[in-house]
Amino acid sequence: MSKKLLLKNAHIENIRNFDVYRKHGGYDAAEKALKMKPEEILEEVKTSGLRGRGGAGFPTGLKWSFIAKPEGVPRHLVVNADESEPGTFKDRYLMEYLPHLLIEGMLISSFCLGSNISYIYIRGEYSWIPDILEQAIAEAKNAGFLGKNILGTGFDLEIYVHRGAGAYICGEETALLESLEGKRGNPRLKPPFPAVKGVWERPTVVNNVESIAAVVPIINISGAEYAKIGVGKSTGTKLISACGNINKPGVYEIDMTITVEEFIYSDEYCGGIPNGKRLKACIPGGSSVPILPANLLLKTINGEPRYMNYESLADGGFTTGTMMGSGGFIVLDEDQSVVEHTLTLAKFYYHESCGQCTPCREGTAWMYKILENIRSGKGKLEDIDLLWDVQRKIEGNTICPLGDAAAWPVAAAIRHFRDEFEWYVKNPELSQKQNYGLANYADARIA
């Protein structure tokens, strides 16, 4: 049974209301933190080993330590709630059912960082959640946990919710800051980094929802105790958004010591694959991370079990590994077409590219067109090599990671399922009528 730190009270009726949240230990961590020195809070977060839960996995405490502190210049905390990665919906769950957990985490984090005005930048498609957050902010303010002179400490904090307009690119922190300032959401060149010049050229820390919510249990149980949960550099618990061909899609909190096989087939989590189908592949960290076939997903190249943590999933690099990413766990059964799925993702990234960088603007369009030709039976075998060449010229050649996010799914699909692309080319009359499934195909990659 996984230890729950974030979702332990999610089942309680009306937990989104302040009084219920408070009754079950809510804001105890905030009271404790406000009696500490900011540097003591920072040390607890560093000790915890908490890594950013938005995708990059960068150590949160280290990121906080970079914030500049020029005399007389305000600092800001910005929560990235622009959860636009296909397959990822765990931040939505936190905000919808446990909004005060986020508000409490923001209070502690803002106090640590010296931010008196903090923001939640939320994706436009989450149209109903800003009202939930606004209500939680008002309740916290009425109870004295926001506003002027919080709990008599002399610390002031206002939190504002800013709605995005539905752009995936604004999940990148500098594009988010541009949008927050009222500009077009184009990524900025770095340096300077947001910790030095962020929103309105003021020192800014940008963290996603889960990362900030995790600060609450860290203060409650201490950074040292938090670090004991998990394994290695994958400390604490992690929220996973599980979807696709599984019996029990949903949001799960894991401690990153379980195997991928246990996560997929255990009744506690995904509950296996419907209709007795076999596992073909999985995208374990949101649409931008490399897809892995079943044999490499369940075991490493050395035959060791693959675990649900940062290090184990990445074992072998992109040749035989993948990434934890944002925790968007997408399962494909034996009847699913990797070509179809890759085309869908390529179309998404083509649509969402801001167009600022030529490799991304032109490359995503080319990848989509080539994949559409292959899928529709108009492709040639040399198109597969062309597709590989295009993605290779996008990766690492753009201002922000959207180019990489568009290239990695294509590269991994060709790397592990090239024969499927070739089948589409060699069977044009069939490829237009049915997906390339493996229900009757004995393949070592399928579990």
Q: What pLDDT digit, counting tens, does each position of 181-220 carry? A: 999 999 999 999 999 999 999 999 999 999 999 999 999 9
Residue from 26, 25, 294, 251 nearest 139 by CA:
26
pLDDT beyond 50 at 121: yes
Q: What is the largest CA-CA distance in the chain?
A: 74
- Kindly report, residue by residue over 387-442, the tens digit of the pLDDT: 999 999 999 999 999 999 999 999 999 999 999 999 999 988 876 656 665 544 55
Respond yes or no on whether the N-terminal peptide bond of residue 249 is cis (omega within 30° of 0): no
Mean pLDDT, the chain, whole residue set:
94
- Kindly report, residue by residue over 268-281, the tens digit of the pLDDT: 999 999 999 999 99
For the chain, the straight-line distance linking the first and the last C-alpha, in angstroms and rounded, comes to 25
What does the pLDDT read at residue 440?
A: 44
90-114: average pLDDT: 98
pLDDT beyond 50 at 80: yes
Contact partners, residue 366, CB within 8 Å, separation at least 6 = 390
221-225: average pLDDT: 97
User: With pLDDT > 70 as the criterion, what percentage of the chain qualifies?
Assistant: 97
Q: Does domain 338-431 have CATH number 1.10.260.40?
A: no
Cα–Cα distance measured from residue 244 to residue 418, given in angstroms and rounded to the nearest whole number: 22
173-181: average pLDDT: 97
pTM for the model:
0.94
238-244: average pLDDT: 97
Axis crossing angle, helix 99-113 with helix 38-48, rounded to the nearest 10 = 120
What does the pLDDT read at residue 435?
A: 61
Q: Contact, 374 vs 380, CB < 8 A? A: no
What does the pLDDT read at residue 285?
A: 95
334-356: average pLDDT: 95
What does the pLDDT read at residue 272?
A: 97
Beta-carbon-side half-sphere exposure of residue 412 (alpha carbons within 13 Å): 31
Respond yes or no on whether the N-terminal peptide bond of residue 192 is cis (omega within 30° of 0): yes
* Bridge partners, residue 241, by sequence: 251, 328
Q: 24: burial class by Cβ within 10 Å (0-12, 13-18, 19+)?
A: exposed
278-294: average pLDDT: 95
Locate 442 and state its tokens.
């004995």
pLDDT beyond 60 at 259: yes
What does the pLDDT read at residue 64?
A: 97
3-state helix, strand, coil in the chain (%, to 5): 45, 15, 40
User: With pLDDT > 90 as the criterion, what percentage of the chain qualifies?
Assistant: 91
Cα–Cα distance measured from residue 38 to residue 146, given in angstroms and rounded to the nearest whole number: 17
- Which fold is adopted by the domain 237-333? Ubiquitin-like (UB roll) (3.10.20)
What does the pLDDT read at residue 436?
A: 60
- Which fold is adopted by the domain 18-226? Rossmann fold (3.40.50)
The pLDDT confidence band at residue 322, using thresholds 50, 70 and 90, is very high
What does the pLDDT read at residue 3?
A: 81
Give the DSSP H/E element, type plus range, for residue 402. helix 402-426
33-58: average pLDDT: 94
The pLDDT confidence band at residue 6, using thresholds 50, 70 and 90, is very high
DSSP state of 29: H
Cα–Cα distance measured from residue 53 to residue 211, given in angstroms and rounded to the nearest whole number: 5
152-179: average pLDDT: 96
What does the pLDDT read at residue 56?
A: 82
Q: Domain segments of the chain: what residues?
A: 18-226, 237-333, 338-431
What does the pLDDT read at residue 427?
A: 86
For residue 438, the SS3 value is: coil
The pLDDT confidence band at residue 301, using thresholds 50, 70 and 90, is confident
What does the pLDDT read at residue 128?
A: 96
